[in-house]
Structure 1
Amino acid sequence: MTSTTSTPADADRALKARHRAMWASGDYPSLATDLLLDLGPIVVTAAGVRPGDRVLDVAAGTGNVAIAAAEAGAAVVASDLTPELFEAGRARAAERGVELEWREADAEALPFSDGEFDVVVSCIGVMFAPHHQRAADELVRVCRAGGRIALLSWTPEGFIGQMFATMKPYAPPPPPGAQPPPLWGSEQHVRELLGDRVTDVVVERRTLPVDLFATPEAFRDYFKARYGPTIAVYKALADEPDRAAALDADLADLVRRSARDGALEWEYLLLTAVRRPEVPSPR
């Protein structure tokens, strides 16, 4: 009789498989089209993407930023753990008349060489990698010395951060070592992740206006049907109808408290930095 022992590598593969399945559930491409298209050009402008730049979009999803970077004349690689999202991205790129490379990749173990890219970006993407320091180390590693990094993340205090806080009591406990995604929306946290490997850090808090939803319940039901993290929490409550009903009420109440004249403002942190030039080795 033989026994099998799970290793940390096995646990990590299982975690990433769950993440991939979560983002492939629902209909994230339609959500990105309905709500998030304006964010792509914002990141591209902040990163100073120029014709001829080699750009990596980490956790690119359907390519919101990647496609905008390609339109700016850059040579772009869109990478994501969930390649099921690429079909919608390829279709939109074709509609826009641009070409780019789509590559399945784990943000915590990017399959690219050190310093391979002039610009490394992520828009509400890398923030969902469970191990923040690993992901930050990879962002810096693949950016060339003197290259630019641009990150856009939902803040903990903003609406989406508060939505995650609302869902947390109903969700299964996170695996050991996993950190909450909205921490990437904390300036101090991201500065600590990047450390002294970057310079010229510029940080702004901005908001994305959202007026798609006529009622709080419409927002809740839209996210229950399309957004992987919300779908995952409700799936975990499948045998607990009372708790699912309580979450229904809490999400609708969050929208009710947050809306102003029927519209929401989703706060995000936009951070740009320059990869610190390498210090020459002493002769």
Structure 2
Amino acid sequence: MNANKALWEKGDFTKLAETMRESGSALVGKLGITPGLNVLDLGCGDGTTAIPAARLGANVQGVDIARNLVEAGNARAKAEGLTNITFREGDAIDLHDIEDETFDLAVSVFGAMFAPKPFDVAKEMFRVTRKGGRIVMGNWIPGDPTLVAQILKVSSAYTPAPPEGFISPMLWGVESNVTERFVAAGAAKENISFERETFTFQAPYPPAVFLETFRKYYGPTMNAFEAAEKNGTEADLQRELEALFESQNQSGDENTTSIPATFLKVTVVR
């Protein structure tokens, strides 16, 4: 079993994606998408950015490694009557069934960054994007004080050491690493640019319930709690994350959640 596939099929990321819809649409709205544009969304989940792109008239191909998320994405598209989008299973490190220079825009927001071979990810994204097209990634930033980087940091302290050769997905949030990967794929350094932007998680329930959503449905957090339960530190992990979620909530209402998280927006012009 592909370990990355197992991780993302383990929970049900759609439960978290429900809190990401508004920011996903806002991000897509700034990408200059026009009707007829051919768009790849890599690591698309159930369509947080893919479906807004299709609503704007783009022809969208969503690719994700998790079968349950692909099925959920196709169901969402069907429910909305969108005929210009399809979701299918695929691996960001090997898009062998996609021809060179197929897409005008290749997008991956908190998706392909989790694939285990980052140089292969950059190579494939670059390969399938046409000359003059763009690649846009949204990646979490290591050491950032906002929510997701801190969740992953806290969780890693409670889980066993990763296997030898493991490359942290968070390195996609380091500009020098991103540049190295895309230059190796064939990009010109001057065609790679970076911005820091904010993605806000919005939920109609308190931060403690939002934490439970991560605990029950988000693969990395599920693994952390399973490991902590085995070594008797589950209560410590729970307390640490509860404090994090409460302190980050900016909704102004203890019964709702609004937590911003900073990410690195990468743009590569092919």
TM-score by length of 2: 0.86
RMSD: 2.1
For these two proteins, the number of residue pairs brought into alignment is 258
Residue equivalent to 1:280: none
Residue equivalent to 2:201: 210
Within the candidate set 89, 94, 99, 1:104 is matched to: 89
Equivalences for residues 6-85 of structure 1 within 5 A: 14=1, 17-33=2-18, 35-85=19-69
Given the alignment of the two structures, is residue 154 of structure 1 paired with residue 149 of structure 2, yes or no? no
Question: Identity, % of aligned pairs?
Answer: 35
Once the two structures are superposed, residues 191-244 of structure 1 have per-residue CA deviations (whole angstroms, 9 ceiling, x without a partner) of: 22212614543422122233537655333222111212111222233422x212
**Is the Cα contact below 8 Å between 1:121 and 1:150 reproduced in 2?**
yes
Q: Which consecutive unaligned segments of at least 5 residues does structure 2 have?
A: none
Distance 1:220 1:249 in 2: 11
Task: Note closer, same or farther for the CA distance 1:125–1:243 as it changes in structure 2 (3 Å cut).
Answer: same
Distance 1:257 1:70 in 2: 36
Equivalences for residues 170-185 of structure 1 within 5 A: 170-185=158-173
Q: Structure 1 segments of 4 or more deviating over 6 A?
A: none
Task: Note closer, same or farther for the CA distance 1:257–1:40 as it changes in structure 2 (3 Å cut).
Answer: closer
Residue equivalent to 2:176: 188
Q: Which protein shows a greater Rg?
A: 1
Q: Which consecutive unaligned segments of at least 5 residues does structure 1 have?
A: 1-13, 276-283
- When structure 1 is superposed on structure 2, of 85-94 and 186-195 the one drifting more is 186-195
Task: Note closer, same or farther for the CA distance 1:203–1:270 as it changes in structure 2 (3 Å cut).
Answer: same
Residue equivalent to 1:281: none
Tell me by how many angstroms 1:37 deviates: 1.0
Task: Note closer, same or farther for the CA distance 1:91–1:138 as it changes in structure 2 (3 Å cut).
Answer: same
Tell me by how many angstroms 1:118 deviates: 1.3
Distance 2:269 2:194 in 1: 12
* 3-state DSSP of counterpart to 1:230: helix
One-letter amino acid of the structure 2 residue matched with residue 121 of structure 1: V
* 3-state DSSP of counterpart to 1:38: helix
Residue equivalent to 2:265: 270
Tell me by how many angstroms 1:53 deviates: 1.7
**Is the Cα contact below 8 Å between 1:151 and 1:271 reproduced in 2?**
yes
**Is the Cα contact below 8 Å between 1:58 and 1:121 reproduced in 2?**
yes
Given the alignment of the two structures, is residue 125 of structure 1 paired with residue 108 of structure 2, yes or no? no
Tell me by how many angstroms 1:32 deviates: 0.3
- When structure 1 is superposed on structure 2, of 95-104 and 58-67 the one drifting more is 95-104
* 3-state DSSP of counterpart to 2:182: helix
Given the alignment of the two structures, is residue 251 of structure 1 paired with residue 237 of structure 2, yes or no? no
